[in-house]
């Protein structure tokens, strides 16, 4: 079992924060080395949606058995930790990665057999291939995670609100040790992380490093295992290290269950609500944060169920809710909060 001892001073506790990251969640969800049960379930639901353009990203995050390059998971300032265009800001930060940083993060390439050619090309010509990697991340998110992200983000922010209140009342140390049984707080201001069963690595079985006053970023994820911890970021670097943990969830109460979702599935229910009476395919895609082809699939399914009618006006295809849909929407005005929304 690998043990990582993090020396946590008072200033580190003061700088510890909790954040939401679409890009981190995308990477954790598609990480293929010992994925959690939650990640495997999700991967099965979205496998057919994975675009060919995503290959460079998938090859990179799975090219090493336990390490994901730091430049691939840029940390945004705390001010960016609000609902909205988080992914766009993260992709902009990824696009700004320097060639020196990319080469340093990919130094493991020479020691591993069978490294994909896309990873070698990125290391040798980061300036030429970084844009392709950013496009891959954007394409993979749009095709596989965008539809579920609003519900996931709601779950993550609910978790953050709970942990934040606990941090304010009991301190960061209590929150840290409450994330997983793999975290142990010692009297000498040391947080011990047991990494067996998370990301395996070779080398010393125990190491001690200082956070050097940078603190930690805690990131909830629905794709982390029930009692696992994922460390991202080089703890000895100038950036903060990240501890990803499983976001708390609870099944919705009986009064919160959504008949519309039970009837047509969460994805179709979200699409019907997004029509908002009438919408073009372009409008629907923008409101859902998905591609036009996915929006068209939703509209076709809703039309087959008698919930929308479709007609063409010039170059636009417009969808309008039927009387049946309007009654359903009136009786189920909003989508209740709940656990990770698997595709229906």
Listed residues 246, 265, 283: the one ending a domain:
246
- Can you give the pLDDT at residue 164? 84
Note whether 7 and 78 are same-domain residues.
yes
Note whether 147 and 93 are same-domain residues.
yes
* DSSP3 helix / strand / coil % (the chain, rounded to 5): 50, 15, 35
Note whether 232 and 277 are same-domain residues.
no
How many domains are contained in the chain? Answer: 2
How many C-beta neighbours within 10 Å does residue 342 have?
A: 17
Residues 6 or more apart in contact with residue 49 via CB below 8 angstroms: 143, 144, 294
Listed residues 246, 262, 285: the one ending a domain:
246
> Does 108 fall in a domain?
yes
Note whether 167 and 280 are same-domain residues.
no
Domain that holds residue 316: 254-331
- Can you give the pLDDT at residue 73? 86
Note whether 224 and 301 are same-domain residues.
no
Does the pTM exceed 0.85? no
Between the CA of residue 152 and those of 21, 77, 178, 179, what are the distances in Å? 11, 21, 21, 18
- Can you give the pLDDT at residue 333? 65
Note whether 155 and 287 are same-domain residues.
no
For residue 295, give the CATH number of its domain: 1.10.10.10
Listed residues 177, 211, 246: the one ending a domain:
246
- Can you give the pLDDT at residue 186? 78
3-class DSSP state for residue 190?
Answer: strand
- Can you give the pLDDT at residue 336? 46
Residues of the chain scoring pLDDT < 70? 1, 79-85, 188, 196-204, 233-238, 250-259, 262, 333-344
Note whether 227 and 315 are same-domain residues.
no
Note whether 293 and 237 are same-domain residues.
no
Q: Which residue has the tokens 């794709």?
A: 223
**For residue range 204-260, what is the model confidence (pLDDT) as tens digits?**
578 888 888 888 889 999 998 877 778 776 655 567 788 889 998 754 444 445 667
Note whether 222 and 270 are same-domain residues.
no
- Can you give the pLDDT at residue 93? 93
């Amino acid at each position: 079992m690998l043990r990582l001892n993090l020396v946590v001073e008072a200033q580190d506790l003061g700088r510890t924060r909790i954040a939401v990251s679409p890009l981190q969640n995308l990477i954790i969800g598609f990480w293929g080395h010992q994925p959690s049960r939650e990640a495997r379930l999700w991967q099965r639901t979205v496998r057919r949606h994975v675009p060919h353009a995503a290959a460079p990203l998938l090859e990179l995050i799975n090219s090493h058995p336990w390490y994901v390059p730091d430049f691939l998971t840029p940390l945004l300032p705390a001010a960016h930790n609000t609902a909205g265009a988080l992914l766009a800001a993260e992709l902009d930060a990824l696009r700004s990665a320097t060639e020196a940083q990319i080469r340093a993060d990919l130094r493991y390439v020479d020691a591993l057999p069978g490294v994909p050619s896309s990873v070698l090309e990125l290391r040798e010509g980061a300036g030429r291939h970084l844009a392709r990697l950013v496009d891959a991340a954007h394409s993979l998110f749009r095709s596989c995670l965008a539809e579920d992200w609003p519900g996931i983000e709601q779950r993550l922010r609910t978790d953050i609100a709970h942990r934040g209140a606990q941090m304010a009342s009991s301190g960061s140390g209590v929150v840290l040790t409450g994330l997983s049984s793999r975290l142990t707080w010692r009297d000498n201001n040391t947080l011990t992380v047991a990494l067996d069963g998370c990301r395996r690595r070779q080398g010393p079985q125990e190491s001690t490093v200082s956070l050097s006053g940078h603190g930690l970023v805690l990131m909830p994820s629905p794709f982390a295992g029930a009692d696992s911890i994922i460390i991202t970021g080089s703890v000895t670097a100038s950036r903060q290290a990240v501890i990803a943990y499983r976001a708390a969830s609870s099944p919705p109460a009986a009064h919160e269950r959504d008949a519309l979702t039970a009837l047509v599935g969460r994805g179709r229910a979200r699409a019907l609500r997004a029509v908002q009476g009438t919408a073009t395919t372009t409008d629907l895609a923008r409101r859902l944060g998905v591609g036009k082809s996915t929006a068209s699939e939703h509209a076709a399914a809703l039309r087959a169920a008698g919930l929308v009618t479709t007609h063409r006006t010039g170059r636009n295809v417009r969808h309008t809710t039927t009387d049946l849909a309007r009654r359903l929407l009136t009786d189920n005005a909003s989508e209740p909060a709940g656990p990770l929304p698997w595709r229906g």
